[in-house]
């Protein structure tokens, strides 16, 4: 299977690197196109077998899958210039907010199109990746899941949930980082060195996520294990709720959900 990646920025570059490190696609079957040279050179230096070009048309013409990783406002122009074949190729768009309806109007009704929303942890192969499909077979959906499961965790969702789930994952990762930043500030005030506080808090967040993901328990169950009656943790938990912690997170997620 040959893959073209159009755009070698944060997302395109991370997907190219993730694919090259994965087991499903051969590095020589990945072709990345980008207008400026520097990002292409960086990819080539890391993965000499990867193909690079300035021409989107050249990248796409013999690809089975074309990944669009340019800013949303360039998508229409880029996609209309590509020599796409709906019988043989599939389109994968990472562009936020570009709907299947818009793609249909640009590439016709028959094309298999996926909307894929990774988050920035894709660079660590720890992305939460949302995948919505349009005119795709079960095999094609499984292929996308297999590819992006090698870069973290991938889930199929209906397109109508895209905005809500993007708020939880793409925006949500920034809220978790904000928690890390705030907890570090507390640690520093309490006399912990910033670098130490950073590692302590980040590992605690990673541990909390592992507890949920590995044992599939509800957060309340894990919180209950830490909150000894009359103890110090329940005092802090109650203080968070007096200060509107849960409410602030719910409001942030809702305001980030733009349909």
245 binds ligand NAP (CB under 6 A): no
Nearer to ligand NAP by Cβ, of 122 and 197: the residue is 122
Helix (H, G, I), strand (E, B) or coil at 23: coil
Q: Which stretch binds ligand NAP (CB under 6 A): 92-100, 134-142, 145-153, 194-202?
A: 92-100
Beta carbon nearer to ligand NAP, 68 or 197: 68
Q: Which residues contact 192 (CB under 8 A, 6 or more apart)?
A: 200
Give the integer Cα–Cα distance in Å for 128 and 97. 17
In angstroms, the CA 51 to CA 58 distance is 11
Pick out residues in 151-170 that bind ligand NAP (CB under 6 A): 170
The region, left, alpha or beta by phi > 0 then psi within -120 to 50, assigned to residue 186 is alpha
Q: Which parts of 115-134 interact with ligand NAP (CB under 6 A)? A: 117-120
Q: Which of 31, 69, 63, 23 is nearest to 50 (CA)?
A: 31
Strand, helix or coil for residue 93: strand
Which residues on neighbouring strands pair with residue 167, listed in sequence order? none
Q: Which of 24, 35, 57, 108 binds ligand NAP (CB under 6 A)?
A: 35
Number of residues that bind ligand NAP (CB under 6 A): 27
- Asked if 67 interacts with ligand NAP (CB under 6 A), we say no
Closer residue to ligand NAP in complex, CB, 74/193: 74
**Which chain residues interact with ligand NAP by CB under 6 A?**
6-12, 33-36, 39, 56, 69-72, 74, 78, 94-96, 117-120, 170
């Amino acid at each position: 299977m040959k893959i073209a990646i159009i755009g070698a920025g944060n997302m395109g570059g991370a997907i190219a690197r993730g694919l090259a490190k994965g087991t499903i696609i051969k590095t020589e079957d990945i072709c990345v196109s980008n207008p400026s040279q520097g990002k292409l050179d960086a990819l080539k230096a890391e993965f000499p077998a990867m193909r690079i070009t300035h021409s989107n048309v050249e990248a796409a013409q013999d690809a089975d899958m074309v990944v669009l990783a340019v800013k949303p406002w360039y998508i229409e122009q880029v996609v209309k210039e590509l020599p796409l074949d709906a019988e043989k190729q599939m389109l994968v768009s990472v562009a936020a907010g570009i709907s299947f309806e818009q793609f249909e109007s640009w590439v016709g009704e028959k094309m298999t199109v996926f909307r894929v929303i990774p988050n920035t942890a894709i660079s660590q192969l720890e992305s939460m990746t949302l995948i919505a499909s349009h005119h795709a077979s079960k095999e094609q959906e499984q292929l996308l899941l297999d590819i992006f499961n090698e870069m973290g965790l991938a889930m199929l969702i209906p397109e109508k949930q895209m905005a809500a789930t993007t708020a939880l994952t793409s925006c949500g990762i920034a809220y978790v980082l904000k928690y890390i930043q705030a907890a570090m500030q507390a640690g520093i005030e309490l006399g912990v060195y910033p670098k130490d506080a950073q590692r302590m808090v980040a590992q605690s967040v990673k541990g909390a996520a592992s507890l949920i993901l590995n044992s599939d328990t509800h957060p309340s169950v894990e919180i209950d294990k830490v909150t000894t009656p009359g103890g110090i943790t329940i005092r802090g938990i109650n203080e968070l709720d007096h200060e509107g912690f849960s409410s602030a997170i719910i409001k942030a997620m809702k305001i980030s959900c733009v349909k």
